[in-house]
Amino acid sequence: MFPMEKSAPKVPSDRTTRDRLLDAAEHLFGIHGYKGAGMRMLAEEAGVNLGAATYHFGSKDALYIETFLRRFRVMNAERLRLLRESEEQAEGKPLPVARIVDCMIRPLFQSGLKHPSFQLLLARNLFMPPPFLHAVIRQELEPNIKVFQAALLRALPAMPDSLLHLRTMFGMGALLVFSFQMAQMVFERHATFYENVLEEMVRFISAGLQSELPPSPEQWLPFPFPPDSESR
């Protein structure tokens, strides 16, 4: 009934093997995709045994999910933190659109600079996640989207929210493709380069969000993000 004294830490304490596995997975899943990278490949790059690999995570799917969530969670938290901080500074006044967009996409650039291989994995999974990741991402992203959508609606009160939803998705597309593009060339450029691209993207997306309203705005149905994919 009593917990054992030497209660072996169920997961931690073996940082090395487990974490090297996660790093290898981040790298190789990013490059080759879920189907493209096998457990053997991962184990080899991590320098661990094949058996040990499945031992630590139970299954390939579980490893993939954990690899993705490890950084995705902190990135999303950072997004919310930046927005909250901006809103406190504004003291009740609605934020400018560009400022909100900045909070949305800046963490992606930061995370991309720190973890280039994750940026590849991220773009891949936001665009076309394998089926078992789909629900995970949605659940993780949902509160985030709600908060930003609300902030944008305060800044653009004349906009029907289904239209805002559609435009936000266009913006996500611009962000995603470029994020993938950027992952290929991190370390090749100076930090100011990324800051410039970030600013330019904020300009592009903000202009799109604020463009004139259509003459007869249709009631768009909401579009799920990430898109519903039949599989893979």
Enumerate binding residues for its own copies (CB under 8 A). Answer: 31-33, 35-36, 124, 127-128, 163, 166-167, 169-178, 180-181, 184, 193, 196-197, 199-201, 203-212, 214, 218, 220, 223-225, 227-232
Return the one option of DNA, its own copies, none that residue 128 interacts with (CB less than 5 to 8 A, by type): its own copies
Return the one option of DNA, its own copies, none that residue 214 interacts with (CB less than 5 to 8 A, by type): its own copies
CA distance 30 to 19: 16
Q: Of 147 and 169, which has the nearer Cβ to its own copies?
A: 169
> Is residue 8 a contact residue for DNA (CB under 7 A)?
yes
CB 45 within 8 A of CB 27: yes
Please give the structure tokens belonging to residue 44: 């080899």
Return the one option of its own copies, DNA, none that residue 175 interacts with (CB less than 5 to 8 A, by type): its own copies
Please state the closest distance from residue 205 (CB atom) to its own copies, in A.
7
From 22, 25, 28, 48, residue interacting with DNA (rule: CB under 7 A):
48
CA distance 54 to 42: 11
Task: Return the CA Rg of the chain.
Answer: 20
From 31, 33, 45, 54, residue interacting with DNA (rule: CB under 7 A):
54
CA distance 122 to 114: 13
Please give the structure tokens belonging to residue 61: 């799917």
From 13, 192, 216, 219, residue interacting with DNA (rule: CB under 7 A):
13
> Is residue 31 a contact residue for DNA (CB under 7 A)?
no
Return the one option of its own copies, DNA, none that residue 211 interacts with (CB less than 5 to 8 A, by type): its own copies
- Contacts of 49-58 with C-beta under 8 Å, sequence gap 24+, read 52/17, 53/21, 56/14, 56/17, 56/18, 56/21, 57/21
CB 106 within 8 A of CB 214: no
> Is residue 153 a contact residue for DNA (CB under 7 A)?
no
